Amino acid sequence: MTLMMDKASAVLQGAFLSANKLCLPSSLSSLQKADWSRTGRSVVEAVREICGQDELSAHPNTVAGCWKKRIVCVVWLKLLCGQAEEDVETAWRENPFFLLQNGLPEVSHVVLLELVKSLAAADIFAHFLLYLPQSQVCVELERLTQHVKSSPTGEDDVRLFLEVWWELWKGKNDQRAGGEEGVEAMFANQYYYCLG
C-alpha cells in the first residue's frame, strides 16, 4: 500500500525544505539542538496547519493524531533508511511512505527528537520504539539520553525524557495485549526492510 501525495504532504515537504534552507551553509542532517527553535519553526507551523490546530495539544483530534503519528514515522524512517542506504529501485514499490519520505531533505536524530518534543509526541515515539528490536530500542534510548543531556537543556527536555520512559513502562503490556496497528505495522515492516 502506497500513501498518495496530497496537499498536506506537500505542505510538510515544503516546510522541511524551508527549514533546510535556514540551516545554510549546513543542513538539517547536521542541525544542532540550539538551532531547532530558529529552523524548526516552519515545520511546527506546517504540522499545526495540517492538523488544523492552533496549538499542538496533548489530546488532538483523530485526524491530527493520525498526522502526528505519520509525520514522526516518516521522519524516523527517513533517518533509519538513509543510514541503511535503502535501494530506491525497490523502495518506490515496497515503501508505503516513499513519496513523502523521499521528498524530505536528509535529517538527523536532533531533528527527529526536537520534532517529537515540539509536537508533544513522546507517546507516539515510545509506541514506535516498542516495535523495534530490543537492541535498536537501546540504541534509540541512548540517543534520546544524549540529546536530553546536550546543551541547551530545559524543562521540556526533561519532560520528553520522562514521558517517553512513562509511555514505555506502561506501553509494553498494551502492545502485547493488542495487535499491530496500521502505521505502527508499516513502520515495523519498513524498519525490518531497511535494516533487517
pLDDT digits (tens, 9 = 90+) for 100-157: 988 999 999 999 999 999 999 999 999 999 999 999 999 999 999 999 999 999 999 9
| The three grid cell numbers given for residue 96, joined into one nine-digit string | 508505503
Helices 182-195 & 122-129, crossing angle to 10 degrees?
A: 50
CA distances for 105 relative to 3, 12, 97, angstroms: 19, 11, 14
Do 190 and 97 touch, CB atoms closer than 8 A? Answer: yes
Q: Which residue has the higher pLDDT, 73 or 56?
A: 73
Mean pLDDT lowest for which of 50-59, 82-91, 108-117, 128-137?
50-59
pLDDT, residue 1, reads: 44
pLDDT, residue 98, reads: 83
- Residue 160, pLDDT above cutoff 60: yes
- Residue 174, pLDDT above cutoff 70: no
Mean pLDDT across the chain: 86
- Residue 173, pLDDT above cutoff 70: no
* pLDDT tens digits along 22-35: 998 899 999 999 99
Q: How far is CA 26 from the centre of its chain?
A: 21
Residues 87-103 have a mean pLDDT of 81
Residues 48-56 have a mean pLDDT of 72
9 Cβ neighbours under 8 A, 6+ residues apart? 3, 99, 100, 103
pLDDT, residue 196, reads: 61
- Residue 63, pLDDT above cutoff 60: yes
- Residue 55, pLDDT above cutoff 70: no
CA–CA distance, 107 with 39 (Å, rounded to integer): 12
Region of residue 6 (left: phi > 0; alpha: psi -120 to 50; beta: else): beta
